[in-house]
Amino acid sequence: MSQLEIFKVALDEEIGQHSYGSEPAELYEPIRYLMDLQGKRLRPMLAVLSTYLFTDHWQQVLKPAHAVEVFHNFTLMHDDIMDHAPLRRGMPTVHEKWNENTAILSGDVMLVQAYELFLGLSPDILPQVLKRFNKTASEVCEGQQLDMNFEKMREVSIADYINMIRLKTSVLLGFSMELGGWAGRAEQPVVEALYAAGENMGLGFQIKDDLLDVYGDPGKFGKQIGGDILSDKKTFLYLKALELADTAQKEELTSLFSDSEPDSALKVKRVTGIYNALGIKEIAEEEVKKYFEKAIGTIRELSAPDDRKRVLLSFVNQLWAREK
């Protein structure tokens, strides 16, 4: 097994064999259900990879890495209620499979469980890690609130958008790497560099997501192509297109995004046509490249063994190149 596979197996075992509780079943079954839908385990992998930069004892970060994954899935459970999402990773969301009350309460207990898993940390670093996690968790909520606010706003700038995805997505990737650094007993400036790398990676990751939604390979990408367009989501692609559009294109785009086109295939086709005419794909790819290259540059400069950095960098490159 490659080092990456070793970490993945260890994380799957840590997460798969954990009991989140049993009674009442309505409270605990949805947690296991959602955790078993098998996401990328991106955040805990980043934590483990970051600890491994500094020590062979990367197993010590498994529980707090698990905590981050539980927290992430808690946000998915609650966001799916707020977004009225019927599906998550191709399966019914918790509020659809059970009901809204269950999704609220089961999510609440997940957040408590995330904090419980953090108690796996050594007591000497526990307070500072929790302080940073609390800040991160609050920011993730702020990002979700901004995301909902943007739906109702006519004008959203690209800077607003970047700030929103930074809060909603990037800070947790940054925290995951920072956590790995603390667990590996790295010095404060190193830990801050890890956070910065994760934050940039997160921005690249989200814009890549926006790109895949429109230009992904339907056979590989797990979700419906054009899903963001159909739900009038103000993505990087849309906001950049609005910025570069001439008067006619701008009118067409805003009109399409206020549901003037009832035929969904045609709506996706027409919006994609404007994106193509403006070269949005290439611009977004440049943006993704910019953020990933920043993250990679920061990781290269870390004072850690080169072979360890290579493991982390191979993971980062996989994320950059991902097609799903």
The contact set with a second copy (CB under 8 A) reads: 21, 23-24, 26-27, 78, 81-82, 101, 104-105, 107-109, 111-113, 115-116, 119, 123, 126-127, 130-131, 134, 137-138, 141-142, 144-146, 148-149
Least distance from a second copy to the Cβ atom of residue 145, Å:
5
Strands (E), the chain: 87-88, 91-92
Nearer to a second copy, 107 or 180 (CB): 107
Nearer to a second copy, 140 or 212 (CB): 140
* Smaller CB separation from a second copy, 167 or 241: 167
The closest alpha carbon to 268, from 229, 241, 228, belongs to 229
Q: How far is CA 114 from CA 67, 217, 289, in A?
A: 4, 35, 33
77 and 106 Cβ atoms separated by less than 8 Å:
yes
Q: How many helices (H) and strands (E) does the chain have?
A: 16, 2
Distance in angstroms (rounded) separating the CA atoms of residues 119 and 166 = 27
Q: How far is CA 42 from CA 7, 47, 169, 257, 276, in A?
A: 11, 9, 12, 32, 31
Of the pair 168, 309, the CB lying nearest a second copy is at 168
Compute the least distance from the CB of residue 12 to a second copy, in Å: 24
Q: Nearer to a second copy by C-beta: 24 or 262?
A: 24
Smallest distance from the beta carbon of 35 to a second copy, in angstroms? 16
> Which lies closer to a second copy via its Cβ, residue 23 or residue 306?
23
Residues 6+ apart with CB under 8 A from 202: 165, 166, 169, 170, 171, 172, 173, 174
At 78 the three-state DSSP class reads: helix
CB of 82 to a second copy, least distance (A): 4
Question: Counting every residue, how long is the chain?
Answer: 324
DSSP per residue over 2-14, as a string? -HHHHHHHHHHHH
Residue whose CB is less far from a second copy, 86 or 279: 86
DSSP for 82-101, please give it.
Answer: HTT--EETTEE-HHHHS-HH
34: helix, strand or coil:
helix
Q: In whole angstroms, how close is the CB of 130 to a second copy at the nearest point?
A: 6
| Smallest separation, CB 70 to a second copy (Å) | 12
The least distance separating a second copy from the CB of residue 149, rounded to whole angstroms, comes to 6
Q: State the nearest-atom distance from the C-beta of 131 to a second copy, in Å.
A: 6
CA distances from 30 to 63, 71, 97, 247 (A): 20, 14, 9, 49
Kindly tell me which of 134 and 188 has the beta carbon lying closer to a second copy. Answer: 134
> Residue 65 or residue 121: which is nearer to a second copy going by CB?
121
Q: How far is the CB of 40 from a second copy (least distance, A)?
A: 23
DSSP state of 154: S
